[in-house]
Amino acid sequence: MTVTGKVELPVVAQRAPSPKRGQGFVPRAKNPVRPPDGLNPLAQVVIVLSDGPVDASDTKPRSSRYNIIGENFESEILPVVVGGKVEIKNMGLKAPRLYSTFADDVVPSDPINKKGVRVTKAITEIHTPIDIRDHESVHFLAHVVAFEHAYFAVPDHSGRFEITGVPAGNWKVKVWYRDGWVTNLPKISVSVAGKRAPKAIKVALPAKLKTTATKAAKKDAAQ
Amino acid sequence: MHLSKIWFFLVTVVAAIAITIALVMPRPAERAAALQESKSVRSACQIANILLRDNARARIQLTAEFAQAVRELKLSTTLFEASKGEIISGQTNATGRKELTKLLNSVSGTKPSFIWLLDRQGRVVARSNLNDKTYGDSMRGYYLVKDALDGYVRDDLWMLEDGLYRVAGAPVLTRDLQWAGAIVLGQAVDGDFAASLGENINANINFYVGTDVVASSKPVQIHKDIVAGSKQLSELKSGDDCALGDVLKVAAGKERFAAVNSRLPGEAGAQGGFFSVYINRPEPLNFMGTLKAAKKDDLGFDRFPWILVALLFVGLMGIGFALMFIEVDKPLKRLNSEAVALAQGEKERFAEEAHRSKYGSIARSVNISIDKMQREAKAAKKDLDQLLGPAPASSQSMVSSALPPVGPGGDLGGIQAPPPSEFKFGAPNADLGLTPPPPAMPGLTPPPAAMPGLTPPPAAMPGLTPATSLTPPPPANKPSGKPPSADKTPPPLPMAGKAAAVDEGPKMNRPTDSLVVPEPVALPDAVTPKLSIDDDILAPPPLKAAGGEEFPTVVSDSAKYFEQIYEEFIAMKERCGESTDNLTFERFSKKLQKNKDALIEKRACSSVKFQVYEKDGKAALKASPVK
């Protein structure tokens, strides 16, 4: 069964400003015509179904395609089934030399020419963001996160998502944001049963996202 | 004597101080120049940062104006629609390029190196002036693009494949203020830009990313040193580069520069981008540098106190010469004139009080030497007097009283004085039956037989020490006579009451501590009968014989012969350089007679023949029996 839904962002007024990403000679300034909308976390969000009847076949490792579309990957985060590999294809105009700070051998470091493909090693660490960077670029960055099964989806720019092949049963909806589970989200569950698709899930993200990674970082900082 | 030395020391000290000042003097100026140089280059660096920020603001403004223009050209609608599609279509690209070209043509002044139109997803809709035919690739990865798509305007520095670019981005809105996409303007950081910036800061400027120079205002090869100096930047806080960064001293050939590095911001800065501002350094202001920098005008009479310097020079030199004249030349001249007078016999000694210091010491030393020689002469004369008796007088009593026969205890008590040492006929107590020598005084070894012509040494004089020698004195040296040989002349008689300390005349065998009695001089056996001399021919005859009788006088028939012998003897003595002052014919003849009688009695000969000869440089007599 396919589970669909939409991630709703808080109103602009409630959103935190988007994070600062470097600075030129002068600090960035708000556009005078229309001010910025604030943080849009959609590019780093993964909707995951959990606590349901997982089909064993959906836990098998599989390859995932991850396309480089220019100065970035097609998405900032790529969810994979644990144990699976990632095929990286260069659809852009440059020839990046990829690497990961997680481990030296995660991704091949030779330049990927246009239309070239490189395959990572199997991602075995679950719920651990593995970064992929480019030696030739400061901004080039993406994360690969492994989950137990394949019941996950990355929302598009409008917030819509779709999870296919979900076994019938009751599922909880969890949100992974960047490097941890969102902890301040109201409980969302979905029941998949019969032949009818369940109702579209509405995932309303809070203005300020708190994650398990944030908690751990705070704990470390406190210690 | 010290004033000239003190003056010399003072002049040397002044000269040393002057040299020190001359060497040190340029250093404050050099430090000031270095400080000024440091200030200048730091100031230029800070101005460069200010100008770059101003330029960034200007570019942001321009980009915002471009975004406004895109909105007004309805190009924003194209972007808005393109954002919805899966890909960017060719049509969309063509439309976008066309509009961009119009926009570029409308810009007066320096045109941007490139303009990118991006849709809401950050994909390139159209490019202008830089890969303008490609489109559809995503630029969203760039921080600037993300911010622009989020609604911010900002600038950045990008290191693209063909160089370093100053970029600015702004969001593009539709007419109804919907987010349509973004626009990015890029301007190259090239040589023209560096030259223009350098003119504004009155310095030179180079741009680097990592170890590569991407733009420079002056083609000088200083990059290696600049890049090496940039490593220090990581230790500084952001914004402190120009103020606190090291001022690098670099050189390219003969040109010397002072440089300061400052980090670039943005993505290029994260990739090790920085710029370096450098200015020419002047020649070092050390001593030689200062000399080189001096001009002819600096030595003109109106600027340089030549007269004062000349007067000072003459004054210092004059004082030095005056002191030298007073302390050296004048005393030396005085000493010299007195030495000449001494040599010429006009003076007997130096006037010590007239000479000071070392010259006085010289005068005293010379006077001491003169005194010493005079004492030696007096001592030699006195010894001679002691040996030969006082200055001759015509009376016999003077001769006879020259050496009274007294012993240590006074009168010898009838003991005969020893015979003349030269007038010997063999060992004492020979078998010829002549009168043996008088017995020695108790405790004393008998002195040797006196040599003819010499005064016998006195018997042990009171006060003499065991170290004193009783050997006969050497013969007096006449100026015309030959001096006695050093190894044959007996040592001199000691002074009365003193140890034998006189050291004059030729070297002689010195007496040891024991009483050394020289070997009696003996004539050969064939000629010399074994007789002893019972009297010195020059010694005063004893007043009485052993029995109290008067001694007999000389027999008149042999007077002529004795006179002849006497004359021969005198001549021989004179030839030998001996004194004949105390040698009278009367005494001589008496002596000869006595010995003749003794020889006749012993040898039973008819007569005695006397011969005068020279023995060991002295006149001697030989007696031979005639049958």
Residues A119-160: tens digit of each pLDDT: 999 999 999 999 999 998 999 999 999 999 999 999 988 899
Judged by a CB distance cut-off of 8 A, whether residue A29 touches chain B is yes
Interface of B with A in 253-292 (CB under 8 A): 265-267, 270-271
Nearest CB to A33 within list B141, B173, B266:
B173
Residue B139: which of A70, A74, A91 has the nearest Cβ? A70
Is the model's pLDDT at B529 over the cut of 80?
no
B177 touches chain A (CB under 8 A): yes
Contact A31 B124 (CB under 8 A): no
* Beta-carbon contacts of residue B505 (< 8 Å; ≥ 6 apart): B380, B474, B477, B492
d(CA B429, CA B299): 109
pLDDT value of residue B392: 62
Q: Would you call B152 and A28 a contact, using CB atoms and an 8 Å cutoff?
A: yes
Please indicate if any CB of chain B lies within 8 Å of the CB of A24: yes
Q: Is B269 helix (H, G, I), strand (E, B) or coil?
A: helix
Q: Which residue has the higher pLDDT, B512 or B156?
A: B156
Whole-number pLDDT of residue A213: 81
Contacts of B265 in chain A (CB under 8 A): 22-25
Tell if the CB–CB gap between A29 and B60 is shorter than 8 Å: yes
Closest CA to A49 of A183, A170, A171, A196: A171
CB contact under 8 A, A31 and B151: yes
What was the pLDDT predicted at B165?
Answer: 96
Answer for the pair B250, B257: CB distance below 8 angstroms, yes or no.
yes
In degrees to the nearest 10, what's the CA dihedral of B153, B158, B161, B164?
Answer: 110
The pLDDT assigned to B505 comes to 43
How high is the pLDDT of residue B427? 46
More confident residue, B263 or B458: B263
- B152 contacts in A (CB within 8 Å)? 18, 28-31, 36
**What was the pLDDT predicted at A214?**
67
Query: Higher confidence at residue B473 or residue A108?
Result: A108
Distances (CA, A) of B626 to A54, B247, B610: 178, 130, 10
Determine, for residues B153 and A29 on separate chains, whether the beta-carbon distance falls below 8 Å.
Answer: yes
**Tens of pLDDT along A12-37?**
888 889 999 899 999 999 998 898 98
CA distance A193 to chain B (A): 33
SS3 B444: coil
The tokens for A53 are 């009847």
Q: What is the per-residue pLDDT across B119-139, written as a single tens digit (0 to 9) for each? A: 999 999 999 865 568 899 999
Q: How confident is the model at residue A90 (pLDDT cuts 50, 70, 90)?
A: very high
Mean pLDDT of all residues in chain B?
A: 78
At residue B349, does pLDDT exceed 60? yes
- ipTM of the shown complex: 0.92
Per-residue pLDDT band for B100 (boundaries 50, 70, 90) equals confident
pLDDT tens string B360-419: 999 999 999 999 998 888 887 777 777 666 666 554 444 444 445 444 444 444 555 555
Mean pLDDT of the A211-218 span: 73
Q: Which of residues 67-126 of A touch B (CB under 8 A)?
A: 69-72, 74, 91-94
CA-based nearest residue in chain A for residue B143: A21
Query: If you measure CA to CA, which chain A residue comes closest to B239?
Result: A25
